[in-house]
Copies of this chain bind each other. A is one copy, B any other.
Amino acid sequence: MLGLMQDWPLTVDRILDHASAWHGDREVVTRSVRGPIVRTTYREIHGRAKKLSNVLLQLGIAPGDRVATLAWNSARHLEAWYAIMGIGAVCHTLNPRLFADQLCYIINHAGDRVILADKTFLPMLAENRARMPLVERFIVFADADDMEDVSLKGALCSEVLIAGASADCAWGGFDEHSACGLCYTSGTTGNPKGVLYSHRSNFLQALITLPRDVMSLSVTDTVLLAVPMFHANAWGLAFSGVAVGAKMVMPGPQMDGASVLELLESEKVTFSAGVPTVWQILLAHLQASGARPTTLRRIVTGGSAMPEALVRTFHEDYGIEMIHAWGMTESSASGTSSIATPDIAARPLDERIPYLLKQGRPLLGVEMRLTDDDDAPVPHDGTTKGRLGIRGPFIAREYYDAGNGSILDDDGFFDTGDICTIDPAGYMQITDRAKDVIKSGGEWISSIEIENAAAGHPKAEMTAVIGIAHPKWDERPLLLVKLRAGESATAEEFLQFLSGKIAKWCMPDEVRFVDDIPLGATGKIDKKLIRQRFEGHILPTAGAASSA
């Protein structure tokens, strides 16, 4: 027997409909690519997005067609999302930090028919135009008087198109499982893979991340969207922030400390979300300038490890709560939050910090499972490591057009590829990527744990650890250190430094000083490349061990 409630599909166009109808005057403020601050409202965005929908329809865009954006965070970018999604097309967010090769691969793989882009990226698009044959049109986010120097042949001007379009456009009316957004993972192994979000998954992610124990958003908040809209679905904030009618501040390309602080203060920002790097840059600026944010109360961060000093300084020196939320492209956005349970919330900061640094506790709608190599569950004791599997309504079940079908195991869990612990209070902590973990004598050694410990050495600028084949132990750790400019050090110095900080059996078998530790497109250490560089490398302990 089915319930007798109304049929009201969870399509994201309804989120902007609601914001326009009930929070119509709330502002969206953008630092534009040209520089000046531009102010608009949800009501205006709604009307302009409807016009842009009509533009796309006139260009022949049909439900399911992919329309890409290559843009910084701006009101125009937000309008484009809703314009595309509202008519059932798929908004494919391109990461401009990818190399041209990868971008072309992704654009072709997705079959993008139209690309909407900031002027910043036109040279790259012009240069590679011939390599994206499926793209029919480019629309430039620009005013009419800003098109003169556009060299991309046939590029259309967004403002001219919008000015000529009708705001009368029906949105929604399709299955809530319809595709809505497409975002490719950075692809540390093999080609980038596309995660195809549905209206339902985006809508649910927004709802589930709104409450106090996650993003804690209210209509009274002003949100600085520091996470790029091309990064893992903007952590859902382009939906959740709009859903509550929060004032939204879009920083555009200028993410230096002074520019971010200026927006925080001039717009009275209360909440922001972004990767730790953004906050480290801001913190450096605050410390150098002596300035203090006066309205910012809460930061959600994630995407890479949280340095303790960062969390501690924001809490202690600036009274700003810093919450760790973990997620991945495949989980739409946040899957956990490090918000304190009542027991932990009651403790002093020093005791809370270890929990704040962990990835956090799963949100409702995120089932988590930790398993060992035999797929048996491992205890939640905070020390036993296992592979993390996740299951839920906003987690991917297969990649777009990847030809390999389901990526789930028999129980429907997606393998995150992360090696984690879960402590008795339910906090999950990623200790390593499964492909980076060093399997030594049946134990799992976390490469990240050694890296982080070694990175604390005052002479270290950056550190990386990979596993090297070993005749006795299967694998043993090799520590690479890039020293700060002008420094010199010995391996012994680093081993001494690590002693007591990591378990004895986790100590690197070798320390090598290198000039360069390569980073991937998303700023993470490119271990795949490091492993290639050290292919066939023999550890000094290998001979001793084999002869032992």
A residues adjacent to B (C-beta < 8 A): 1-8, 10, 14-15, 18, 22-23, 63-64, 90, 175, 177-180, 195-201, 204, 207-208, 210-213, 216-220, 243-245, 247, 332, 339-342, 345, 361-362, 364-365, 367, 391-400, 408, 412, 414, 426
Instruction: Check B216–A5 contact: CB distance below 8 A.
Output: no
A213 touches B207 (CB 8 A): no
What is the CA–CA distance of A341 and B220 in the complex, to the nearest angstrom? Answer: 6
Q: Are the CB atoms of A198 and B2 closer together than 8 Å?
A: yes
**Shortest beta-carbon distance from A8 to chain B in Å:** 4
Nearest Cβ in chain B — how far from A449, in angstroms? Answer: 25
Q: Are B211 and A6 in contact (CB under 8 A)?
A: no
- Is A200 in contact with B400, judged by CB distance below 8 angstroms? no
Across the interface, do B179 and A8 meet the contact criterion of CB distance under 8 Å? no
The docked-state distance in angstroms from the alpha carbon of A284 to that of B365 is: 42
Distance from A84 Cβ to chain B, minimum over Cβ atoms (Å): 13
Q: Known contacts A8-B393, A195-B4, A339-B219; decide if A18 and B412 are in contact (CB<8 Å).
A: no
Contact B6 A412 (CB under 8 A): yes
Neighbour of A216 across the interface among B212, B393, B394, CB < 8 A: B212
Q: CB distance A391 to B212 under 8 Å? A: no
- Contact B392 A179, beta carbon cutoff 8 Å: no
Kindly list chain B residues whose C-beta atoms are within 8 Å of the C-beta of A392. 6, 8
Is A196 in contact with B3, judged by CB distance below 8 angstroms? yes
- The minimal Cβ–Cβ distance linking A233 to chain B, given in whole angstroms, is 11
Are A64's CB and B199's CB within 8 A? no
Which of B2, B196, B212, B426 contacts A212, CB < 8 Å?
Answer: B212
Which single residue of chain B is at the shortest CB-CB distance from A63? Answer: B1
The 5 A-B pairs at the shortest CB distance, nearest first, are namely A3-B198, A1-B64, A8-B393, A5-B201, A212-B218
A217–B207 CB distance below 8 A: no
Contact A4 B397 (CB under 8 A): yes
- Bound Cα distance A199, B6 (Å): 13
Q: Would you call A342 and B220 a contact (CB within 8 A)?
A: yes
Is there contact, CB below 8 Å, between B10 and A393? yes
With contacts A3-B196, A393-B6 taken as known, whether A213 is within 8 angstroms of B208 at the C-beta atoms is: no
* Partner among B2, B178, B244 whose Cβ is within 8 Å of the Cβ of A1: B178
Which of chain B's residues has its CB closest to A3's CB? B198
Q: List chain B residues, Cβ under 8 A from A244.
A: 211-213, 364
B219–A341 contact, CB under 8 A? Answer: yes
Chain B residues with Cβ under 8 A from A342's Cβ? 219-220, 247
Copies assembled: 2
Partner among B7, B178, B245, B364 whose Cβ is within 8 Å of the Cβ of A3: B178
CA distance A18 to B175 in the complex (A): 27
- Whether A399 contacts B3 by the Cβ 8 Å rule is no
Docked complex Cα distance between A6 and B200 (Å): 11
A–B Cβ pairs within 8 angstroms, 24 of them: A1-B196, A2-B178, A3-B178, A3-B179, A3-B197, A3-B201, A4-B396, A4-B397, A4-B400, A5-B177, A5-B197, A5-B201, A6-B397, A8-B393, A14-B364, A15-B364, A18-B364, A22-B362, A23-B341, A207-B208, A207-B364, A211-B211, A211-B217, A220-B341
Q: A4-B399, A6-B391, A212-B212 are in contact. Are A220 and B364 (CB under 8 A)?
A: no
- Tell me whether A345 and B211 are in contact (CB under 8 A): no
Shortest C-beta distance, A194 to chain B (Å), equals: 9
CB neighbours (8 Å) of A177 from chain B are 2-3, 5
Q: How far is the CB of A3 from chain B (nearest CB, A)?
A: 3
- Whole-angstrom distance from the CB of A279 to the nearest CB of chain B? 23
Selected contact of A90 from candidates B1, B195, B394, CB within 8 Å: B1
Give the CA-CA distance A36 to B4 in the complex, in Å: 39
Residue on B nearest A8 in the bound complex, by CB: B393
Q: What is the CB-to-nearest-CB distance from A269 to chain B, in angstroms, rounded to a whole number? A: 13
Q: Name the residue of chain B whose CB is nearest to the CB of A243.
A: B364
- A414, B196: Cβ atoms under 8 Å? no
- Which one, B4, B195, B341, B398, contacts A196 given CB within 8 A? B4
Q: How far is the CA of A200 from the CA of B2 in the complex (A)?
A: 10
Tell me the smallest distance from the CB of A231 to a CB of chain B, in Å.
18
Cβ distance A407 to chain B, nearest Cβ, rounded Å: 9
- When distances are taken between beta carbons in the complex, the residues of chain B under 8 Å from A213 are 218-219, 244
CB distance from A185 to the nearest CB of B (A): 13
Q: Which residues of B contact A198 (CB under 8 A)?
A: 2-5
Measured CB to CB, the closest approach of chain B to A135, in angstroms, equals 18
Say yes or no: B199 contacts A3, CB within 8 Å.
Answer: yes
Cβ contacts under 8 Å, A6 to chain B: 391-397, 408, 412, 414
Whole-angstrom distance between the Cβ of A139 and the nearest chain B Cβ: 22
Contact B212 A365 (CB under 8 A): no
Max count, chain B CB within 10 A of own CB: residue among A3, A195, A200, A414:
A3
In the bound complex, what is the Cα–Cα distance between A4 and B90 (angstroms)?
A: 12
- Complex Cα distance, B23 from A2, in Å, reads 30
Name the CB-closest residue of B to A362.
B22
